[in-house]
């Protein structure tokens, strides 16, 4: 098995993709809007991917956070709010925010499961930082580490209840970035004390089954290399300080923050300690190059992959209670305005 997650070019596999994926046997796949036309088409695509490999549990993943990061959108799929909605509710009703996040994530998991998707790259545990680039922004679950961990845990639990494994990201923290790592390399100049705060949500949720690195430099830990490519950061900070022992993925290895060819970056990431490389753009040359440059998946990474997927399930249809869960989520989110109105009247 190749330790890579690959993208598909369209709503159906091409003959070239089908032959390549069968021979390469990647660890899994990632879906984007270009792959998702409607529910019937999407389920047919994921069914074909499963049939291609004959695995009971196959990693088929997506970025479905809600808000501006949502590959599945109305009218074919439900709408989900950004992390900021739960942050705002938490300020006035913490327990309600946690429950809203949990039931919303369960509804999301049920919907993804019915589409044949087993992994969601959600939740982001990056703290919201004033003055930082808005690449995280309203995606964040808040600025307080304990709050972010509490809401993040609710999301992981809700997704799992829906049959999907979540993924904590972007270790060791993307919240302080002053630029977008999709376009250029952020360098985080922060003290050890400041960064300890950023690590806290990841530490609290270090039992998560899947985690993702961020393409950022942290000179205090490694002057030369970003987290994704740094043996020191992966070993000492992610595996060591944070204590994360789950399946470790790179963020998209094609992002412009990184130098060198995509196959070169992939080889570096695996050598640094990442378990699996995430390659999103379905460029055949890059995918072939990755297969040529990286070793077969390690035994430990294969064990982590199996463990991450063992609790997932692919549903035949969307569970009937999904709409009830969404209604409960929306009622809880609406509670914030009601509480603020009461507080205003009392003042």
**What is the reported pLDDT for 340?**
67
Q: Which residue has the tokens 């091409």?
A: 14
**What is the reported pLDDT for 102?**
98
Q: Tell me how far apart the alpha carbons of residues 316 and 208 are, in angstroms, rounded to a whole number.
A: 26
Helix count (H) and strand count (E) of the chain?
11, 11
Q: How many CB atoms lie within 10 A of CB 90?
A: 23
- 51-86 in b/e form (b: 16+ CB < 10 A) is ebeeeebbbbbbbbbbeebbbbeeeebbebbbbbbb
DSSP element (H, E) containing 252: strand 247-252
193 touches 200 (CB < 8 A): no
DSSP element (H, E) containing 94: helix 94-114
**What is the reported pLDDT for 347?**
41
Q: Give catalytic residue positions.
A: 182, 251
Q: Tell me how far apart the alpha carbons of residues 27 and 261 are, in angstroms, rounded to a whole number.
A: 21
- Verdict on whether the full-model pTM lies above 0.85: yes
Q: Tell me how far apart the alpha carbons of residues 169 and 68 are, in angstroms, rounded to a whole number.
A: 16
Q: Tell me how far apart the alpha carbons of residues 98 and 119 are, in angstroms, rounded to a whole number.
A: 21
How confident is the chain (347 residues) per 10-residue block, as mean pLDDT? 98 98 98 97 97 93 97 97 97 96 98 98 96 92 98 98 98 92 90 95 98 97 97 98 98 94 98 98 98 98 98 88 94 85 55
**Bridge partners of residue 60, in order along the sequence:** 29
**What is the reported pLDDT for 346?**
47
**What is the reported pLDDT for 317?**
85
Q: Tell me how far apart the alpha carbons of residues 46 and 142 are, in angstroms, rounded to a whole number.
A: 34
| Cα four-point dihedral sign 101, 105, 106, 111 | positive
Domains and their CATH numbers in the chain = 2-346 (3.20.20.300)
């Amino acid at each position: 098995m190749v330790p890579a997650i690959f993208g598909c070019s369209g709503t159906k596999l091409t003959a070239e993709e089908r032959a390549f994926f069968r021979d390469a046997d990647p660890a899994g796949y990632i879906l984007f809007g270009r792959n998702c036309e409607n529910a019937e088409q999407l389920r047919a695509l994921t069914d074909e991917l499963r049939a291609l490999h004959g695995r009971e549990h196959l990693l088929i993943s997506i970025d479905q956070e809600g808000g501006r990061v949502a590959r599945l959108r109305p009218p074919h799929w439900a709408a989900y709010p950004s992390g900021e909605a739960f942050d705002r509710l938490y300020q006035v009703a913490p327990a309600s925010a946690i429950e809203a996040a949990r039931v919303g994530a369960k509804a999301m998991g049920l919907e993804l499961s019915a589409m044949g998707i087993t992994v969601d790259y959600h939740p982001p545990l990056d703290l919201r930082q004033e003055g930082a680039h808005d690449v995280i922004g309203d995606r964040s679950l808040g600025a307080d580490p304990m709050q972010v961990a509490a809401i993040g845990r609710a999301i992981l639990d809700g997704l799992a209840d829906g049959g999907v494994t979540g993924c904590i990201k972007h270790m060791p923290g993307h919240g302080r970035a002053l630029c977008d790592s999709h376009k250029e390399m952020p360098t985080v100049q922060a003290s050890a004390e400041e960064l300890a705060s950023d690590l806290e949500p990841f530490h609290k949720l270090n039992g998560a089954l899947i985690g993702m690195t961020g393409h950022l430099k942290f000179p205090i830990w490694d002057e030369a290399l970003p987290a994704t490519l740094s043996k020191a950061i992966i070993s000492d900070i992610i595996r060591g300080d944070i204590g994360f022992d789950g399946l470790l993925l790179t963020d998209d290895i094609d992002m412009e923050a990184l130098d060198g060819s995509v196959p070169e970056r992939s080889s570096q990431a695996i050598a640094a300690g990442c378990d699996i490389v995430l390659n999103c753009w379905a460029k055949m040359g890059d995918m072939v190059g990755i297969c040529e440059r990286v070793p077969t998946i390690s035994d430990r990474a294969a064990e982590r992959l199996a463990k991450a997927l063992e609790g997932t399930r692919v549903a035949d249809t969307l569970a009937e209670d999904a709409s009830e869960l969404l209604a409960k989520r929306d009622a809880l989110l609406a509670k914030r305005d009601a509480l603020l109105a009461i507080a205003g009247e009392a003042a």
